[in-house]
Amino acid sequence: MKKLLKPFVVAVSAVLASSVMMTGSASAQKVVKCDFRGFKRLGPSGPAIVSGVPGTMTPIALNSIQIIDKNIAKKILPQAVFARRTDTGTLEVMARLINCTDYPQEVLVRTSFLDPDQFPAEPETAWQRVFLQPKSTAVYSEMSTSMDIGYYLIEVDEGE
């Protein structure tokens, strides 16, 4: 048995050594932990959609993610939101989402692109299904068709 085990150990060691060489690190990452308190306290820090009648709705921050379903808001956190101009002048947005649960999750995501006056520049995009494995990340991205984009809003809804 020892004769069979030695080649196995050598083979596993070689695989691990090559993966360390490729990644540059042998340290294991910690399991994703999520703290929803900071996200819940976060209010608009820049431009926002506000009601004409004060106190009738919470301001909706632009150039951000709006999680519109309470069930998903307890399971999924946005890790990052990015936007950049393409070579043709349109806007590309990307959001990285984190599944904070021990179960696979499915969400629907869409984007609204607004002009510099916060008027819709084009119809909202179609809802896209995004699948997230337990304790993992997934990326959503979308591109505008118009060049006159001043703001965007990414919405996340329950996927079931």
Residue pLDDT, tens place only, 27-56? 566 667 777 766 655 555 677 777 778 778
pTM of the prediction? 0.74
Q: Is the dihedral of CA 78, 81, 55, 41 positive or negative?
A: positive
- Asked if pLDDT for residue 91 goes beyond 70, the answer is yes
What does the block give as tokens for 40?
A: 């819940």
Question: What domains lie within the chain, and their CATH numbers?
Answer: 37-158 (2.60.40.3230)
Cα–Cα distance for residue pair 146/154, rounded to 1 Å: 16
